[in-house]
């Protein structure tokens, strides 16, 4: 795959030149495209009498969670959804949380339920997530949706948002490069239930040959070097080095890691910066295209949450 050989008529809207090698995959533009499609389909659905409803539950006052929940609510309203946020005290009991979920499961105006993690100590996250109806599980974490994805029934599964967004970026990039995913070799680094494992199933659905690698993989650099597509979701800052990347590979970096930066901020504290699981500066010289951090996969996660909510509403409307 050669970025320099791009056809001028190819869909280049989500990729742009880096000036130092491969193309940059712009997750912000791709997410805007997804959200625009969701908003358009929401109008059609609303004209038939159904407005997609998303309920987000936040327990406690975790600052990062508050930011994420706010962004999700804003996106929902921009798409024309009925958006509800339940802010619960950190002292909320597991029984009280389960009762709220049961009421939302029974509410016909709510099509998607999202419980923001992490939950306070004393609340069983697994029990809570499994209490959400599989039909309203827009995070894609319920065992029913995991099972549907595992057997390849993607048409019925609600797929976890981050891997779903990663696949959208991969497909758009492959189209821009004039590359067919069929038969390509992919390596997913990371075996989490949230990203790594569902990502494998999605890549298999595109007829790719997939290897899942992890911390115990023998010769991890050699394994990654075989890949036409690398999906990094291991949670270790810049673990994947530039010379691990096969020339012409597409790199999807899911990692978001905060590391020390240079100098002090306005408050006199040491600066920090966000980096991915891939050494971006070195890898972009070999890759045909790569997602930056931030600005790559991150924006897609919320966009796919909106897409899942719309799908759930469309199913409810028949």
For residue 211, the enclosing domain spans 160-298
Residues 174 and 128 in one domain: no
Residues 165 and 136 in one domain: no
Domain contains 264: yes
Of 300, 257, 306, nearest to 27 (Cα)?
Answer: 300
Residues 92 and 129 in one domain: yes
- C-alpha to C-alpha distance for 115 and 141, rounded to whole angstroms: 11
CB atoms within 10 A of CB 98: 15
- C-alpha to C-alpha distance for 26 and 30, rounded to whole angstroms: 7
Mean per-residue pLDDT for 198-213? Answer: 97
Q: Give 68's pLDDT tier (boundaries 50, 70, 90).
A: confident
Those residues whose C-beta lies under 8 Å from the C-beta of residue 269, and which sit 6 or more positions away, are: none
The answer to whether the beta carbons of residues 173 and 15 sit under 8 Å apart is: yes
Residues 164 and 133 in one domain: no
Residues 114 and 177 in one domain: no
Mean per-residue pLDDT for 37-59? Answer: 97
Over 50: is that where the pLDDT of 258 sits?
A: yes
Last residue of one domain, picked from the residues 94, 111, 140: 140
Residues 79 and 114 in one domain: yes
Average pLDDT, the chain: 94
Angle between the N-to-C axes of helices 298-316 and 27-47, in degrees from 0 to 180, rounded to the nearest 10 = 20
Q: Give 268's pLDDT tier (boundaries 50, 70, 90).
A: confident
The answer to whether the beta carbons of residues 131 and 99 sit under 8 Å apart is: no
Residues above pLDDT 70, as percent of the chain: 96
Residues 73 and 183 in one domain: no
Q: pLDDT tens digit string along 120-139?
A: 999 999 999 999 999 999 99
Domain contains 22: no
Residue 195 in tokens: 């990203």
Higher pLDDT, 62 or 185: 185
Domain contains 146: no
pLDDT of residue 316: 96
| pTM, full prediction | 0.93
Residues 198 and 250 in one domain: yes
Residues 207 and 269 in one domain: yes
Q: Lowest mean pLDDT of 34-38, 48-52, 261-265, name the range.
A: 261-265
Q: Give 264's pLDDT tier (boundaries 50, 70, 90).
A: confident
Domain with residue 235: its CATH number is 3.40.50.720
Structural domains of the chain, count: 2
pLDDT of residue 3: 39
pLDDT of residue 62: 86
Domain contains 313: no
pLDDT of residue 12: 55
pLDDT of residue 2: 41
pLDDT of residue 119: 95
Mean per-residue pLDDT for 68-79? Answer: 93
Mean per-residue pLDDT for 69-96? Answer: 95
Domain contains 211: yes
pLDDT of residue 63: 86
Domain with residue 82: its CATH number is 3.40.50.10860
Domain contains 273: yes
pLDDT of residue 205: 96
pLDDT of residue 317: 95
Please identify every residue annotated as catalytic: 72, 116, 139
Mean per-residue pLDDT for 76-86? Answer: 96
Residues 135 and 192 in one domain: no
Residues 196 and 255 in one domain: yes
Over 90: is that where the pLDDT of 203 sits?
A: yes
**What backbone torsions phi and psi does residue 205 show, to the nearest 5 degrees?**
-65, -20
Q: Give 16's pLDDT tier (boundaries 50, 70, 90).
A: very high
Mean per-residue pLDDT for 51-56? Answer: 98
- Pairing of the two strands 270-275 and 257-264: antiparallel
Residues 174 and 288 in one domain: yes
Domain contains 33: no
């Amino acid at each position: 795959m050669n970025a320099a050989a791009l056809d001028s008529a190819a869909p280049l809207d989500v990729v742009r030149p880096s000036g130092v090698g491969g193309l940059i995959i712009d997750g912000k533009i791709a997410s805007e495209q997804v959200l625009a499609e969701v908003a358009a389909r929401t109008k059609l659905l609303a004209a038939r009498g159904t407005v997609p409803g998303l309920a987000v539950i936040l327990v406690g006052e975790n600052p990062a969670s508050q930011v994420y929940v706010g962004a999700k609510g804003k996106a929902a309203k921009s798409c024309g959804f009925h958006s509800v946020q339940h802010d619960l005290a950190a002292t909320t009991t597991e029984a009280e949380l389960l009762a709220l979920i049961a009421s939302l499961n029974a509410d016909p105006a709510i099509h998607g339920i999202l419980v923001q993690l992490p939950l306070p100590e004393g609340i069983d996250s697994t029990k809570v997530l499994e209490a959400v109806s599989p039909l309203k599980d827009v995070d894609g974490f319920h065992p029913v949706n995991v099972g549907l994805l595992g057997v390849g029934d993607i048409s019925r599964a609600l797929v976890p948002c981050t891997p779903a967004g990663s696949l959208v970026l991969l497909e758009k990039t492959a189209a821009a490069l004039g590359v067919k995913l069929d038969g390509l070799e992919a390596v997913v680094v990371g075996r989490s239930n949230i990203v790594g494992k569902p990502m494998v199933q999605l890549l298999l659905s595109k007829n790719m040959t997939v290897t899942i690698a992890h911390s115990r993989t023998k010769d991890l650099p050699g394994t990654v070097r075989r890949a036409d597509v690398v999906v990094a979701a291991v949670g270790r800052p810049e673990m994947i080095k530039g010379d691990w990347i096969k020339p012409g590979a597409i790199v999807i970096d899911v990692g978001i890691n905060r590391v020390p930066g240079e100098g002090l901020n306005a408050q006199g504290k040491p600066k920090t910066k966000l980096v991915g699981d891939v050494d971006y500066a070195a890898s972009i010289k070999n890759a045909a295209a790569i997602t930056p951090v931030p600005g790559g996969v991150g924006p897609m996660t919320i966009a796919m949450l909106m897409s899942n909510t719309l799908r759930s509403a469309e199913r409810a409307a028949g």
